[in-house]
Amino acid sequence: MTTTRTDRAPVAAPRVRRGGRTAWVGAGLAVVVVAVLGYLPFLTTRGTQVSLVGLFSLVVLGTMWNLLAGYGGMVSIGQQAYIGVGGYGLVYLASTVGVDPFLAVPVAAVVCALLAWPTSYLAFRLNGGYFAIGTWVIAEVVRLLVTQVDALGAGSGASLTGFAGIDPTYRIAYVYWMSLGIVVLVVGGVYLLMRSRLGLALTAIRDEPTAAGSLGIGVTRAKRVVYVVAAAGCGLAGAMIVANTLRVQPGSIFSVDYSAMMIFIVVIGGIGTIEGPVIGALVFYALQDTLADLGNWYLVVVGVVAIAVTLLAPKGLWGLTRGRVDLFPTGYRVG
């Protein structure tokens, strides 16, 4: 006669969690880094602060392009349209209308968002490579329209005179702190967005939009929200750039080079991660600062680095951690 044992220990249910010890480490590290960066104007020269504002703008641009392509599945090469609108918006509001320049920065970003909403109805009629080309065409149209407006300096550009009454030392420090605040807002905002229900929907849309739509996810609506948010973020970056240089010209602020920079930053750092664009921006900034004197060879070196990372680390530099380190977790883990 055989008997069956019924006193086996119950099997523990799988534990679904988000984050963990590394997430707390990431949060603490972020607070320390921001605190140190916030104190830097008291320790460094004005030239260093100006350079760091340039780095901050790269982080914002990379984060916004990663939001579009890495999370939203939209490969755009026309985000320079909103960079230019943000820069010109700051100049017009602060120099012509008389709005405080620091208040004009978020207003310019709102203008970019308002412009992006109707523009998305045109861009979303295209898919894949046609969408990428279409965004570039839209950016060129915006550039041509701006060059026809005399109040914006037409084709010769315009200067930002809204800071005229502020001592240069204080102006540079204020712009630096404003830019640091924008970086924290943008990176933190994308992190929280990707931890929300919309972020989960975006992950599904990126992987398979048809299947996501069949499950009741509003694919077009979610993509439109991302497109508008990314436009506002690029507008903030454009305003940061102009506040830092005090000059805007259509040939530079609407340059497709910005799209190339964003793609390089995200691909090098790691697409589809919060940390990737930050790492990519640091690498690009270091290359730009070190190799700027090489002329055209600088572009060759950047291209070689991009090819090498793509071949040796397809998931970017942050992907080399192989998921062992997740400072800003956005998904769930079972374990």
Handedness of CA 276, 244, 246, 95 (dihedral sign): positive
What is the signed CA dihedral for 325, 327, 330, 332, rounded to 10 degrees? Answer: 50
Burial class (CB in 10 A: 0-12, 13-18, 19+), 269: buried
Q: Are strands 333-334 and 247-248 parallel, antiparallel or unpaired?
A: unpaired
pLDDT at residue 277, as a whole number: 92
Residue 74 near residue 132 (C-beta atoms within 8 A): no
pLDDT at residue 80, as a whole number: 94
Average pLDDT over residues 6-12: 56
118-164 pLDDT per residue, tens: 999 999 998 888 999 999 999 999 999 999 888 888 778 888 888 88
pLDDT at residue 77, as a whole number: 92
Containing H/E element for 238?
helix 219-245
pLDDT at residue 9, as a whole number: 55
272-308 pLDDT per residue, tens: 888 889 999 999 999 888 887 777 777 788 888 888 8
pLDDT of residue 327 exceeding 90: no
Q: If we measure between CA atoms, which residue out of 33, 315, 310 comes closest to residue 187? A: 33
Look at the block and give the residue holding tokens 């990126």.
206
Tokens of 225: 């929200």
Whole-number Å distance between alpha carbons of 72 and 226: 7
191-238 pLDDT per residue, tens: 988 888 887 888 777 777 777 777 778 888 888 999 999 999 999 999
| Domain residue extents for the chain | 44-258
Q: How confident is the model at residue 13 (pLDDT cuts 50, 70, 90)?
A: low
Looking at residue 334, the DSSP 8-state letter turns out to be E
End-to-end alpha-carbon separation of the chain, Å?
40
Q: How confident is the model at residue 4 (pLDDT cuts 50, 70, 90)?
A: low
* Of 61-65, 98-102, 111-115, 205-209, minimum mean pLDDT range: 205-209
Tokens of 100: 């405080």
Q: How confident is the model at residue 5 (pLDDT cuts 50, 70, 90)?
A: low
pLDDT at residue 140, as a whole number: 94
Residue 166 near residue 94 (C-beta atoms within 8 A): no
